[in-house]
Amino acid sequence: MYNVPPPTNVESIKKLADTQPPPKNFYELQLNSVVATKRAIADGYKLLEVEFPPLPSNVLEMDDVSSSDVAATNLNLALDFAKAFAENEYSIAIMLPDEAEQEIIMEKVGTTADPFPGVKISSLRRSEDGDNRIFKPEQVFLSLFGGRSSGAIKAIDGVTMYVIIIASAQELPDVEELHELDPNAVIVMYNLKLDVLRGDIGNPAFPPKELHDRFLSQVKPVYYLRTRQYSRSTPTPPFIVNYQGCLFRSYPGNFQTLLDVGDGRAYRRILGNKFRPPLGVFKAQLTNSLKVDGTIQEESDVLNFLRTGYKTTTWWEEKRENASDAWRT
């Protein structure tokens, strides 16, 4: 059921992907993310990003939902994703940061290291001496100076695709090292929130910004669904306007700016972007659409500047001399 029909008309596939609506449920999301990933692989891409909320937004906001709950959900989703490729003769390894986290999350999910034919669960860092510490000060130290793992990162013989889950910014150099060790394998960054992790890069005790330029900028977003909520004051009733939307991309389509018009269930397409818009630009696109339909009133240039400031992009969203454009196209 996951098989992708061979492309017969590249232009028609692109046109359909440009206006493809967001999924209505997780089943549809899984099908579509697999299709988009397969198309990107067929086009020769090996560093890929699949990003979407792993749980409904109302569930993620609940106080009793822990990080381990989200991690377990991501493992279950990654297993379904991996099975779709194992059916097509891929050998898949779902990679957690280290052996300790691997054991904890597998126990929570109730699975083994070999859950399905062609699919295994492993870890980026694998020790030979039983050192399974979750926090490793030496790892942080090495990341500070762009150091290698001294053999802790190991490629897995026969694996053709790695699916990376629940890695932090400090573990991204491990993913880069895995790519260097096994450059022919496909690596999928699965629900890592790379946008958030990039924001940590360059801070004390985190990898340097060069990591984005030489590695993360090469990661192609092939299935990307990010929702955002905003509010804006108005001089007339209701005085506060709450609105939300999503930035959505299914490869090889454009990045679509979509305004939520139905409590997260229906979206109006505002426009398509050939290049992934910075988050500040995405917000402006949603806001401008509300001005057009009269939901929000136009403001003077001065008031608009006070709301938005002079800078609407983060450092990694700007054009950087040594960085690839793959992450934004």
pTM of the model: 0.87
Percent of the chain with pLDDT over 90: 59
8 vs 223, higher pLDDT: 223
Q: Quick check: bond before 97 cis, omega within 30? A: no
pLDDT confidence tier of residue 151, bands split at 50, 70 and 90: confident
Which token pair is 146?
């762009």
Least confident of 42-51, 187-196, 212-221, 254-263: 254-263
Say if CB 242 and CB 235 are below 8 A apart: no
Q: Is the dihedral of CA 327, 317, 66, 139 positive or negative?
A: positive
Across 232-252, average pLDDT: 85
pLDDT confidence tier of residue 290, bands split at 50, 70 and 90: confident
Please, what is the angle between helix 26-42 and helix 67-86, to 10°? 50
**Amino acid letter at 138?**
E
Determine whether 216 is exposed, middle or buried from the number of CB atoms within 10 Å of its CB (0-12, 13-18, 19+).
buried
Phi, psi of 121 (to 5 degrees): -110, 130
- Digit-coded pLDDT (tens) for 79-101: 999 999 998 789 999 999 999 99
pLDDT the model gives residue 210: 95
Q: Rounded distance, CA 141 to CA 14, Å? A: 45
pLDDT confidence tier of residue 241, bands split at 50, 70 and 90: confident
pLDDT the model gives residue 302: 44
Across 131-136, average pLDDT: 48
pLDDT the model gives residue 9: 73
pLDDT the model gives residue 295: 66
Count of beta carbons in the 10 Å neighbourhood of residue 52: 21
pLDDT the model gives residue 306: 43
Say if CB 25 and CB 198 are below 8 A apart: no
Q: For residue 131, how many C-alpha atoms fall within 13 Å in the half-sphere facing its CB?
A: 10
Q: Rounded distance, CA 170 to CA 142, Å? A: 10
Q: Can you list the domains of the chain with their CATH numbers? A: 24-224 (3.40.50), 226-317 (no CATH)
pLDDT confidence tier of residue 256, bands split at 50, 70 and 90: very high
**Amino acid letter at 246?**
C
Say if CB 213 and CB 201 are below 8 A apart: no
- Digit-coded pLDDT (tens) for 313-329: 788 888 888 999 999 99
**Amino acid letter at 191?**
N
- Digit-coded pLDDT (tens) for 18-69: 999 999 899 999 999 999 999 999 999 999 999 999 887 667 666 667 888 8
Q: Rounded distance, CA 30 to CA 227, Å? A: 17
